[in-house]
A and B are shown apart, each in its own frame.
Chain A
Amino acid sequence: MASLYLHIPFCKTKCCYCDFNSSAGKEALYEPYLAALEREIAGMAIEGNRGALATLFIGGGTPTVLTSAQLVHLIKQVEGLFGFTGDIEITLEANPGTVRESDLIALREGGVNRLSFGVQSFNDQELCILGRCHTCREAEQAVRAAHQAGFKNINLDLMYGLPGQDGDSWQRSLDTAISLTPKHLSLYQLTIEPATPLEGYIDTGNLSLPDEDEILEMDAVTDQFCQETGMKKYEISNYAELGFECRHNINYWRNREYFAAGAGSVSYLKGVRDKRVADPAQYIDLINRGGSAVVESEELSQEASFRETVVMGLRMTQGVSLRELYDRYTIDLKEHYGDTLSRLIGLLLLRLTEDRLHITEKGFPLANRIMAELV
């Protein structure tokens, strides 16, 4: 099974918490960027040995700043070069402020079968604090439109732990979200990234974050919500109706191979992780000169890769399979971690069943602590 990630590094406006590789106000680059992107993909496909794609993920940034025609063209290009499996999952990230129903229909017809909306909150005040370019009404309308357009597999991204947010407000966002019948929810605790405007507001005391107790209360709200709605947690921040887990992302967490193209994107093939230049103009330039846009490469030792695979796998509730790990690395997990493993199991943070190691419910809030011992 092959996976491909395509990065669109553009947004309508820049949200104040965001440290993704995306920038606003670069409309002039859309066309040349797309051309370069297609060129990179074509080059990749020629290298051969790729097999049909089982998942394709177009992320950003905000891919929907491009027209549906441009996006559909891109997908067709990819299909022509790689081929698609019959049940391919094609995800498109969409910003509720940038889609119209007609676009959605075109995209649906163009092959997109999973839409991921960056809603973040259904509270206008919170949206405003985050510097989002849409209101919650617009978000609701966008999701309804997606249903209308025939999308069956819709994800909503929501954030909690926002400045001024409390358990009740979080509950209301979740309730609104579920009323829109998504199949998948990504619920992220806000991380204050360095050098973002939001960090500045927090540092200067203009905004303040909920404390640990309040965060834990929101986590409890989430748990209760899942029980009531049947959404099942399958990764630290990801929830889905059974069968609607995101296959593209699961591939990451299993630390399997994937292709990637676009500014700042990272591919992982034959044990080598390649990162492309982040700046779109430089990216275009490098590709147009017929070269590679890769600026960083990383290849881990067997053992380090094993450890990375364990840590990534433990993000999922199902954890990792000892047999699979052995087949892949000829390393015995129990032997490898020895006392550290027993201690974490003893503390009820990890659980070992016959073939699987996974983080317990008690362990998930402390996942980093656990992973830092295993990495």
Chain B
Amino acid sequence: MMNNIRNFSIIAHIDHGKSTLADRMIQHCNLVSDREFKDQILDSMAIERERGITIKSQTICLPFTAKDGKLYTLNLIDTPGHVDFSYEVSRALTSCEGALLLIDAAQGVEAQTLANLYLAMDNDLEIIPVINKIDLPSAEPETVALQIDEDLGLDSELVQFCSAKTGKGVTEILEAIVQLLPPPEGDPASQLQALIFDADYDPFRGTIISIRVINGTVKPRDIIRFMSNGREYKVEEVGLFKLSREPQKQLSAGQVGYILAGIKTVEDTRPGDTITLKDDPCSEPLAGFKKVQQVVFSSIYPIATDEYEDLAAALEKLKLNDAALTFEKDSSVALGFGFRCGFLGLLHLEVIQERLEREFDIALILTVPSVQYTFLLADGTEKKVDNPAHFPDPSHIDRIEEPFIKATILIPERYMGVVMTLCMDRRGENTNFHYPMPGRIEFQCELPLAEVIYDFYDRLKSVTQGYGSFDYEMIDYRKSDLVKLDILVNGEIVDALSQLVHRNNARARGLHACEMLKEEIPRQMFKIAIQAAIGGTIIGRTNVSAMRKDVTAKCYGGDITRKRKLLEKQKAGKKRMKTVGNVDIPQNAFLSVLKSDQ
């Protein structure tokens, strides 16, 4: 029966059409009626639909009858393309034997095409290159096929051509999957070894564990054991991911599916862990996942201080579904108790913020994101700092180092100049480049991570008119001239607005913060001074003038209810603000400071 299973991921650069291809396959396999169908059906989170991008990998199990007349079970995992979510891709790949590498026929090979290809190769997966969007007038399938050959070193014989939009070529791809990708291996009769590759939380059923069974079989009423912590649970249900969960009698070696075991203790389930059976355990856990490195850190505070406990519980649940998130307790004079969180990038941070606000209904304030610096202190000790609140006493600092990355940027040759300028503006070093094929440049540059996390990708997109793409890896730490920039509101430092910045950028950042705050802090009954300072030195200032008139002229018998409600709204608005000294600062003011200055 394993011979009829194919487990594969669709991987690609962002927007190359993974989710759309998944749509066509789902429709081809009649998993959804036309009435229920919607575009990018696997992008089920509100934030995914709004932004039109995939954030979470999604698994779907498709019954497919091939030309050979046999019925196959295809476990498709649609993955995200954005660089911040490559950890999602890498986890998805551990439960597959193969991958479809999608390439936009008009865009060609881009940075995450390469990055995701390498991830698939690391996992020894069989790869089928697919050139998508051949319906576009600007499509150049032959050129892209050449890139696949020369740039990627893949066998161009295997290339499939398709339009995920029109459905052309989709049947051929499904046939190729059946013929070219190997079925899973493993022994259904041996001890259970199942890899947890994802999880989610359901308030009624508890944790929903996504597993790939490597060996053995699991069924309801089995007692399973998590190998990392020894916790044991009785299985209530196992099943497959159809468009909704579909219970099965059992899951066995080679299959991808889910387990429900009434698990309400959220932290027991850890993606990467191995599940076995209590009564007949396997001897070794599976290799699990590489530890992921968070690159930006920011503190999250609930606007209502009494929501701290709710926030803690929400983060636990989110972590289950987003293994890349880290958090620990933090506190601020201005904002009270919160959490210092680590993220894989700024988009990841935004996603977490939005999910907390939407799925858990907690209004938040975030502090300015920072990378992690190394402080070498006069007494010879070393300290990692990502939080401005922990900035050591300047007189004790011997040397500060900041993380550097190596950026790989793929561009058509004509954008070389503007990209070079952009990298130099961002303190880039050691640039070099080569031509993987005529007309295209692979440009490499070493850059401080701090210069990249903000808006580098947006800027790159805009200076290259959408043709540039980039990927990066951490390389080392290098000496930096770092200062702590403080923001004062009516003379008081608002600790949550402090940030760590390179001295060269401090003034611009300070002024930017002052300007943004001026826009966002509503006028109050007195004048508000906003200042930016390094140490004790003021480097920028603005004012919010006093509100001098705010009166409802008329209020008679018929108006009372309406006018009272307006006042109540005004009051509620004030409640959503944080009071520092006697100044009310709205949530947006905190968020505005995070926005880039361009």
* A binding-site residues for B, Cβ under 8 Å: 5, 7, 188-191, 212, 215-216, 219, 236-237, 249, 252-253, 255, 258, 260, 264-266, 268, 273, 275, 298, 308, 311-312, 315, 343, 347, 349, 364-369, 371-373, 375
The complex places the Cα of A255 from the Cα of B555 at a distance, in Å, of 11
B557 touches A365 (CB 8 A): no
B567 touches A212 (CB 8 A): no
A252 touches B551 (CB 8 A): no
Distance (whole angstroms) from the CB of B287 to the closest CB of chain A: 59
Most buried by A among B549, B557, B560, B564: B557
B553 touches A191 (CB 8 A): yes
Contact of A236 among B551, B560, B564, B574 (CB under 8 A): B551
| A188 touching B550 in the complex, CB below 8 Å, given contacts A273-B561, A368-B570 | no
Contact of B557 among A266, A308, A311, A315 (CB under 8 A): A266
Contacts of B567 on A, CB cut-off 8 Å? 311, 368, 371-372, 375
Distance (whole angstroms) from the CB of A219 to the closest CB of chain B: 8
**5 A-B pairs, CB-CB below 8 angstroms?**
A216-B548, A219-B549, A253-B555, A260-B558, A275-B558
Contact of A265 among B558, B561, B568 (CB under 8 A): B558
The complex places the Cα of A265 from the Cα of B556 at a distance, in Å, of 11
Answer whether residue B283 sits at the interface, using C-beta atoms and an 8 A cutoff: no
Distance (whole angstroms) from the CB of B113 to the closest CB of chain A: 49
Answer whether residue B434 sits at the interface, using C-beta atoms and an 8 A cutoff: no
Most buried by B among A258, A268, A371: A371
| A347 touching B525 in the complex, CB below 8 Å, given contacts A191-B553, A308-B564, A372-B574 | yes
B553 touches A315 (CB 8 A): no
B557 touches A260 (CB 8 A): yes
B549 touches A212 (CB 8 A): yes
Answer whether residue B547 sits at the interface, using C-beta atoms and an 8 A cutoff: yes
The complex places the Cα of A191 from the Cα of B554 at a distance, in Å, of 9
Contact of B552 among A258, A343, A367, A373 (CB under 8 A): A367
| A365 touching B550 in the complex, CB below 8 Å, given contacts A349-B525, A373-B571 | yes
Contacts of B564 on A, CB cut-off 8 Å? 308, 311, 375
Q: Per-position contact with A for B552-594: 1 when CB-CB < 8 Å, else 0?
A: 1111111011001001101100100000001000000000000
Distance (whole angstroms) from the CB of A126 to the closest CB of chain B: 16
Distance (whole angstroms) from the CB of B574 to the closest CB of chain A: 7
Distance (whole angstroms) from the CB of B593 to the closest CB of chain A: 25
B558 touches A249 (CB 8 A): no
Contact of B550 among A7, A260, A311, A369 (CB under 8 A): A369
A366 touches B525 (CB 8 A): yes
Distance (whole angstroms) from the CB of B445 to the closest CB of chain A: 48
Chain A residue at minimal CB-CB distance from B565 = A375
Distance (whole angstroms) from the CB of B310 to the closest CB of chain A: 26
| A366 touching B547 in the complex, CB below 8 Å, given contacts A371-B567, A373-B571 | yes
The complex places the Cα of A253 from the Cα of B554 at a distance, in Å, of 11
A189 touches B551 (CB 8 A): yes
The complex places the Cα of A219 from the Cα of B550 at a distance, in Å, of 13
Closest 10 CB pairs of A and B: A372-B570, A375-B567, A266-B558, A188-B553, A368-B550, A365-B549, A372-B571, A252-B557, A367-B551, A189-B553
Contacts of A236 on B, CB cut-off 8 Å? 551-553, 555
B525 touches A369 (CB 8 A): yes
Chain B residue at minimal CB-CB distance from A315 = B555
Distance (whole angstroms) from the CB of A355 to the closest CB of chain B: 24
The complex places the Cα of A5 from the Cα of B555 at a distance, in Å, of 15
Number of interchain pairs (Cβ within 8 Å): 91
Most buried by B among A253, A298, A315, A369: A369
Distance (whole angstroms) from the CB of B62 to the closest CB of chain A: 52
Contacts of A191 on B, CB cut-off 8 Å? 552-554
Distance (whole angstroms) from the CB of A67 to the closest CB of chain B: 25
The complex places the Cα of A365 from the Cα of B552 at a distance, in Å, of 9
Chain A residue at minimal CB-CB distance from B549 = A365
Q: Per-position contact with A for B20-63: 1 when CB-CB < 8 Å, else 0?
A: 00000000000000000000000000000000000000000000
The complex places the Cα of A255 from the Cα of B547 at a distance, in Å, of 29
The complex places the Cα of A349 from the Cα of B550 at a distance, in Å, of 13
The complex places the Cα of A268 from the Cα of B568 at a distance, in Å, of 20
Contact of B548 among A212, A265, A273, A371 (CB under 8 A): A212
Distance (whole angstroms) from the CB of B148 to the closest CB of chain A: 55
The complex places the Cα of A219 from the Cα of B551 at a distance, in Å, of 12
The complex places the Cα of A216 from the Cα of B548 at a distance, in Å, of 8
Contacts of A275 on B, CB cut-off 8 Å? 558, 561
Contacts of A5 on B, CB cut-off 8 Å? 557-558
Contacts of B557 on A, CB cut-off 8 Å? 5, 252, 258, 260, 266, 268
A375 touches B571 (CB 8 A): yes
| A308 touching B548 in the complex, CB below 8 Å, given contacts A236-B553, A347-B525 | no
The complex places the Cα of A266 from the Cα of B563 at a distance, in Å, of 14
A188 touches B551 (CB 8 A): no
Contacts of B574 on A, CB cut-off 8 Å? 372-373
Contacts of B582 on A, CB cut-off 8 Å? 343
Most buried by B among A190, A253, A260, A368: A368
B560 touches A215 (CB 8 A): no
Distance (whole angstroms) from the CB of B521 to the closest CB of chain A: 15
Contacts of B551 on A, CB cut-off 8 Å? 189, 236, 364-368
Distance (whole angstroms) from the CB of B334 to the closest CB of chain A: 19
Chain B residue at minimal CB-CB distance from A367 = B551
B550 touches A252 (CB 8 A): no
The complex places the Cα of A373 from the Cα of B567 at a distance, in Å, of 8
The complex places the Cα of A217 from the Cα of B182 at a distance, in Å, of 83
Distance (whole angstroms) from the CB of B351 to the closest CB of chain A: 34
Within 8 A of A (CB), among B206-243: none
B553 touches A252 (CB 8 A): no
A252 touches B570 (CB 8 A): no
Distance (whole angstroms) from the CB of A326 to the closest CB of chain B: 21
B560 touches A308 (CB 8 A): yes
The complex places the Cα of A78 from the Cα of B550 at a distance, in Å, of 39
Contacts of B554 on A, CB cut-off 8 Å? 188, 191, 237
Chain B residue at minimal CB-CB distance from A344 = B525
Contact of A375 among B549, B555, B568 (CB under 8 A): B568
Contacts of B568 on A, CB cut-off 8 Å? 372, 375
Within 8 A of A (CB), among B119-178: none
Chain A residue at minimal CB-CB distance from B573 = A372
Distance (whole angstroms) from the CB of A132 to the closest CB of chain B: 17
B561 touches A266 (CB 8 A): yes
Contacts of A249 on B, CB cut-off 8 Å? 556
The complex places the Cα of A366 from the Cα of B547 at a distance, in Å, of 8
Known: A191-B553, A252-B556; 12 extra A-B contacts, CB below 8 A, are A189-B553, A212-B549, A249-B556, A298-B561, A311-B567, A349-B525, A366-B549, A367-B552, A369-B550, A371-B567, A372-B567, A375-B568
Contacts of A264 on B, CB cut-off 8 Å? 558
Distance (whole angstroms) from the CB of B570 to the closest CB of chain A: 4
Contacts of A253 on B, CB cut-off 8 Å? 555
B552 touches A252 (CB 8 A): no
The complex places the Cα of A275 from the Cα of B559 at a distance, in Å, of 10
Distance (whole angstroms) from the CB of B420 to the closest CB of chain A: 45
Distance (whole angstroms) from the CB of A72 to the closest CB of chain B: 24
The complex places the Cα of A367 from the Cα of B550 at a distance, in Å, of 6
Chain B residue at minimal CB-CB distance from A255 = B560
Contacts of B547 on A, CB cut-off 8 Å? 366, 369
A252 touches B525 (CB 8 A): no
